[in-house]
Structure 1
Amino acid sequence: MNYETQLLGDSAVVIDEHVSPRRRNRLMLIGGGAAVLLVAVAAWISMRGDKAAAPPPGAQVPVVTVLRPGQSTVARTVTATGSLAARVDMPVGVVGEGGMVSQVLVQPGDWVRAGQVLATVERSVQTEQVRSLAAQVEVARADAKLAQAQLDRAKALVGRGFISAADIDQRTATRDAAQARVNVAAAQLAEQRARTGRLDIRAPAAGLVLTRSVEPGQIVQAGGGALFRMARDGEMEMQAQVAEGDLATLRPGNGATVTPVGSKTQFAGRIWQVSPVVDPQTRQGIARIAVPYNAAIRPGGFAAATITSGSGSAPLLPESAVQSDPKGSYVYIINGRNQVERRDVTVGQVSDAGVAVTSGISGAESVVTSAAAFLTPGQKVKPELLKIR
């Protein structure tokens, strides 16, 4: 038998050639109707799927609070850690010939004035030498006095012819030599008194005594090491270790906040010196931050610092608006179709005023301020603009 196959839509109708034309037309109509029916069913299923993806007609669209942050002036800061130290650390040691320490007059933590005696060295021998030289000065003065008297008497007799001019010259020279011996003896006495005075270990400047490494009875000598360490005027500093890239942005005069480890107290300071070199191993340099004296700032301790290196413009968001995950920091914004959209951002300075966003948004977007953790990208919401007073 011969059959003719006709494709109508997605259906195949097989028609026998020997079937009558009337019956053939009827079969073709049935096949066409079946094809139309299949197309209609497929369209209905597709429309039903779209309706299932959309919210039910009676469902409420969540209301979210959004903020258009714009641009705000924010401070650029650099964070660093480092050691606390005296701004000018003065080692104090033996200046004279040394000897046995007889007294130590100060303790660490004492404030002293310039020239104040910190410790004394036994000086019995030097005292006797001073007395001996003082006696020699008196002898020389007596000789000079006698020579002056003899010269005066000779001058009174020269007019009568009893004394020649040559005698006057000789007596004048004798008087001058005696006076010179007085000066020599006086200089020797002053030298010995200075040497004896150098046995006192004195503060080179006013300041705070930091350490003491000497006790009574100890034998000390010049070049034997520091007996005391002082902070001149009590001034302290933090030697902040700063990354090479950040070091280039710092200048003397930049303000800083220093927080010693173990303390919640913050101290205002100011950079007074930026290191001209960088450590080739750590790729860091030192920014020296001067801070006023406080008992909580102990040289040798550790501290953290936040240094203000300038200011710039950036969007400022509340902390609740910024989310984070393994991919990094992000915010949710509401696009023109009132749908949630994720936007990756880079976070800058965090302060009481908020979080500065250095990249990712321009500030003109509608940023979700809270409850962002309960939203999903593409979700339909109703934004409500937060009004800032």
Structure 2
Amino acid sequence: MKRIKPRWIAIAVITLALLGGVWRAINNKRAQQAAATTAAAEQMQIELLSSDVMRAELRDVTQSLPVSGTVRAVNFAVIKARVAGELKEVVAREGDAVKAGDVLARIDPTEYQRRWQQAVEQASAAKSQMEIAQRQWDSNKALVGQGFISQAAMDNSVASYQGAIATQKAAIAGAEVARKALDDATLRAPFAGLVSGRAAQVGERVAIDAKIMELVDLSQLEVEVPLSPNESMDVRVGQVAALQIEDRKEVVGAKVKRISPSAQTGSRSVLIYLALDKAEGLRHGLFAKGVLGLGKSQVLAVPLSAVRTDRAQPYVQVVERVGDQQQVAHKTVTLGMRGMDLTQPESEPMVGVTGVNEGSTVLKGHVGALRSGMVVKYTALATPLTAPLPAPATAASTAP
């Protein structure tokens, strides 16, 4: 008995250890199953903001054409030198406002003053020669009547007088040309506007047609948009557009004002010009992009980003009431006309759909893919700016 007792004690200890390990393993498995069940229950529920959903409703969708171009002033001028010479003075500089006729710059007028004075003196000398020829002709008219001179002498005096008149006229014309060259040495603003750039400095010798500065009138701005010949065929004067200037959030309205009657050589593009509704704060040369409305139709529309295409057929995710819960449901849709709702200040591309009823609550595209049947709860925000949550449609009313 003394030999057997320690053996049974060892067996009992080992058996108890095994039973304890089995019991702990069972408890761990139950805990894992409970955690998995809790995680699955949490995954079947999602909280959304009111800004994550929208109603599918009838909208005036305008078929749109993407456009981009450059903001340009209707009145824009490159001021160039009309005469050659040294640039003596630049009166207006970048950003200066000028009126029509104001002096912008001056080229050294010394040479042109001397030429004008020379031309004036030549005209004066020609006038004196013409007066001498006129007196000679008047005298010969009286003499030929009395027979003191021949008719040939009379004809010569007439020719001399006519030649003197022509010489005087040529001298006067030369003086006027010289005077114009002198006036051209002073560069003046052709219209009221702002100096946008300067290309020459005081002391430089500039040639004829050398660029001196640029002048723009920001009171009238338009966007020059190049279109392909195919795209331009549907464009008409008066069609409206929504543009963003330099990727700013603000949308600026515009309207087709002019359409070029011919395609550009080389690029084959057709230029259209959009008159901007609001030009305040804009600058000549900025980049603009947006959409041009070609035609309008009223359709049941949702944002194009809300339509999912990760299946064989496109579908949208809607929130519908099932019992006392609101759940996600997937509705297969047929896509129709695409365009923009230009009545909205920050509209996004819309698409007409069939397969959902008017008033259905549709999840926006940024929410991402959700599993059908997932329970939806709305997060309450304490800000008064939050829009009221849309009431989801019932399962009966959202059936396709």
**Structure-1-length-normalised TM-score:** 0.61
Q: What is the CA–CA distance in structure 1 between the aligned matches of 2:136 and 2:393, rounded to whole Å?
A: 122
Q: What is the CA–CA distance in structure 2 between the aligned matches of 1:185 and 1:223, rounded to whole Å?
A: 27
Distance 1:119 1:378, change over 3 A: closer
Shift of 1:234: 5.1
Structure 2 counterpart of 1:93, from 80, 91, 102: 80
Structure 1: unaligned runs, 5 residues or longer: 1-66
Match of 2:294 in 1: 309
Question: What amino acid is the match of 2:394?
Answer: P
The yes-or-no answer on 1:73 pairing with 2:63 is no
1:2-41 equivalences under 5 Å are: none
Structure 2: unaligned runs, 5 residues or longer: 1-53, 376-391
Distance 1:164 1:95, change over 3 A: same
The yes-or-no answer on 1:342 pairing with 2:330 is yes
Indicate conservation of the 8 Å contact 2:81/2:208, yes or no. yes
SS at match of 1:106: coil
Q: What is the CA–CA distance in structure 1 between the aligned matches of 2:348 and 2:109, rounded to whole Å?
A: 68
Aligned residues: 314
Match of 2:118 in 1: 132
Distance 1:365 1:155, change over 3 A: closer
Indicate conservation of the 8 Å contact 1:240/1:286, yes or no. yes
Match of 1:367 in 2: 360
Shift of 1:99: 0.5
Q: What is the CA–CA distance in structure 2 between the aligned matches of 1:136 and 1:290, rounded to whole Å?
A: 54
Q: What is the CA–CA distance in structure 2 between the aligned matches of 1:183 and 1:125, rounded to whole Å?
A: 23
Indicate conservation of the 8 Å contact 2:300/2:358, yes or no. no
- Mean Cα deviation higher: 75-84 or 346-355: 346-355
Structure 2 counterpart of 1:118, from 104, 115, 124: 104
Shift of 1:127: 0.8
SS at match of 1:299: coil
Question: What amino acid is the match of 2:221?
Answer: M
Structure 2 counterpart of 1:300, from 285, 288, 313: 285
Shift of 1:142: 1.4
Question: What amino acid is the match of 1:298?
Answer: R
Indicate conservation of the 8 Å contact 2:218/2:279, yes or no. no
1:210-225 equivalences under 5 Å are: 210-224=196-210
The yes-or-no answer on 1:270 pairing with 2:262 is no
Match of 1:259 in 2: 244
Distance 1:149 1:126, change over 3 A: same
SS at match of 1:315: strand
Indicate conservation of the 8 Å contact 2:61/2:298, yes or no. yes
Structure 2 counterpart of 1:377, from 366, 373, 380: 373
Match of 2:127 in 1: 141
Shift of 1:105: 3.1
Question: What amino acid is the match of 2:134?
Answer: Q
Q: Percent same amino acid among aligned pairs?
A: 21
Indicate conservation of the 8 Å contact 2:300/2:353, yes or no. no
Match of 2:160 in 1: 174
Question: What amino acid is the match of 1:213?
Answer: A
Distance 1:158 1:359, change over 3 A: closer
Q: What is the CA–CA distance in structure 2 between the aligned matches of 1:366 and 1:206, rounded to whole Å?
A: 55
Indicate conservation of the 8 Å contact 1:82/1:303, yes or no. yes
Q: What is the CA–CA distance in structure 2 between the aligned matches of 1:137 and 1:331, rounded to whole Å?
A: 91
Q: What is the CA–CA distance in structure 2 between the aligned matches of 1:130 and 1:122, rounded to whole Å?
A: 14
Distance 1:366 1:179, change over 3 A: closer
Shift of 1:344: 4.5
Task: Deviation per CA, 1:219-266: give whole Å up to 9, x if none.
Answer: 110244x22223468543334587999777544432123332375554
Indicate conservation of the 8 Å contact 1:344/1:360, yes or no. no
The yes-or-no answer on 1:227 pairing with 2:238 is no
> Which is higher, the Rg of structure 1 or of structure 2?
1
Shift of 1:200: 3.1
Indicate conservation of the 8 Å contact 2:331/2:356, yes or no. no
Shift of 1:135: 1.3
Please give the root-mean-square deviation of Cα atoms over the aligned residues, in Å. Answer: 4.9
Indicate conservation of the 8 Å contact 1:333/1:365, yes or no. no
Q: What is the CA–CA distance in structure 1 between the aligned matches of 2:243 and 2:349, rounded to whole Å?
A: 22
Match of 2:139 in 1: 153
Q: What is the CA–CA distance in structure 2 between the aligned matches of 1:233 and 1:261, rounded to whole Å?
A: 17
Indicate conservation of the 8 Å contact 1:90/1:229, yes or no. yes
Indicate conservation of the 8 Å contact 1:157/1:163, yes or no. yes
Q: What is the CA–CA distance in structure 2 between the aligned matches of 1:278 and 1:137, rounded to whole Å?
A: 49
Shift of 1:121: 0.9
Q: What is the CA–CA distance in structure 2 between the aligned matches of 1:243 and 1:180, rounded to whole Å?
A: 58
Q: What is the CA–CA distance in structure 1 between the aligned matches of 2:166 and 2:270, rounded to whole Å?
A: 61
